[in-house]
């Protein structure tokens, strides 16, 4: 075997374990899901009756599915704005400090050290016990609201907990990008009379646009698939008012009348919607980066 052949073989051996894991847990479930979505399988029986596009036709008139899609879309839009604006603001504020950067980075990244399903249950206790205690015993009537039982406040609670969980991660990405901005450009802008806002929007922001693309891409994909926060905080209630698409699919597949094939069809629809939105987002953002 030639030297080039040995190098290729060694590279293949190094890549093979990761590829096998990726194939078994990513590619195979995806392609098998396409087949299962065209069956009436309940996830348990040995027989899988092929029914074609019947599941997809049924989804068209599934009120609960589209209601959960509408809620998820609203949640994604709010989280895209809230999480990224706060994360970027914190990154700029911390990077501008001379001291204690490490302390602030640690504090804001601490929520990433625990699972969000656990964080959701923690916040559930805060909303249902702690805030009521503060309202009743300390006179803080601003907290005397049905944070979980009222759909309006439940949505606000979900956004607060979700932001608490991901802002630290986004902040680190923005901070890494800010550290790559040449200091002499900002100093030159200051000498030319640019104030802090002008310096940020005319110099800093265009140079960290790639990090914005990454953060929006990650937020978009993660928020469309949200399950753990909502499941542990509200369970999709009250009355399915805060039910995300992921929870709707979960209930279809594992609760009540188990319809694994139909749930898989819903998963395929969600995948296609997220895929199309992601392609559009990346294309637009990359074009904007090139223009800048």
What is the pLDDT tens value at each position of the chain, 292 positions in all? 677 777 778 888 888 888 899 888 888 888 888 888 899 888 778 888 888 889 999 998 889 999 999 999 999 999 999 999 999 999 988 887 777 777 888 888 888 888 888 888 999 999 888 888 888 777 777 778 888 888 888 999 999 999 999 998 999 999 988 888 887 777 777 777 777 787 888 878 888 888 888 898 899 888 998 999 999 998 888 888 899 999 999 988 887 778 888 999 999 999 899 889 888 888 887 777 666 5
The fold of the 61-291 domain, in CATH, is MetI-like fold (1.10.3720)
Q: What is the DSSP string of the chain?
A: --HHHHHHHHHHHHHHHHHHHHIIIIIHHHHHHHHHTTB---SSSS---B-TTHHHHHHHT-HHHHHHHHHHHHHHHHHHHHHHHHHHHHHHHHHT-SS-HHHHHHHHHGGGGS-HHHHHHHHHHIIIIIHHHHHHHS--GGG-S-TTTSHHHHHHHHHHHHHHHHHHHHHHHHHHHHTTS-HHHHHHHHHTT--HHHHIIIIIHHHTHHHHHHHHHHHHHHHHT--HHHHHHTTT-STTTT--HHHHHHHHHHSSS--HHHHHHHHHHHHHHHHHHHHHHHHHHHHHHHH-
Output the pLDDT for position 290: 66
The whole-number pLDDT of residue 96 equals 79
């Amino acid at each position: 075997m030639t030297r080039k052949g040995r190098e290729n073989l060694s590279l293949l051996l190094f890549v093979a374990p990761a590829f096998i894991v990726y194939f078994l847990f990513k590619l195979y479930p995806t392609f098998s899901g396409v087949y299962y979505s065209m069956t009436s399988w309940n996830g348990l029986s040995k027989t899988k009756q092929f029914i074609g596009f019947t599941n997809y036709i049924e989804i068209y008139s599934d009120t609960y599915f589209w209601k959960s899609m509408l809620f998820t879309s609203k949640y994604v839009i709010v989280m895209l704005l809230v999480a990224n604006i706060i994360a970027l603001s914190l990154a700029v504020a911390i990077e501008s400090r001379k001291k204690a950067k490490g302390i602030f980075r640690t504090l804001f990244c601490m929520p990433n050290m625990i699972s969000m399903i656990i964080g959701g249950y923690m916040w559930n206790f805060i909303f249902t016990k702690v805030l009521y205690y503060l309202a009743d015993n300390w006179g803080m009537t601003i907290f005397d609201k049905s944070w979980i039982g009222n759909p309006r406040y439940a949505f606000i609670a979900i956004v607060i907990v979700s932001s608490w969980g991901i802002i630290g991660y986004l902040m680190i990405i923005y901070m890494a990008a800010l550290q790559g901005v040449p200091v002499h450009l900002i100093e030159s802008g200051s000498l030319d009379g640019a104030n802090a806002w002008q310096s940020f929007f005319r110099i800093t922001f265009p140079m960290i646009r790639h990090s914005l693309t990454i953060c929006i891409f990650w937020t978009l994909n993660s928020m469309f698939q949200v399950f753990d926060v909502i499941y542990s905080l509200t369970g999709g209630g009250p009355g399915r008012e805060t039910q995300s698409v992921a929870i709707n699919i979960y209930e279809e597949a594992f609760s009540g009348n188990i319809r694994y094939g139909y749930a898989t069809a819903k998963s395929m629809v969600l995948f296609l919607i997220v895929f199309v939105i992601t392609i559009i987002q990346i294309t637009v953002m990359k074009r904007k980066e090139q223009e800048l």
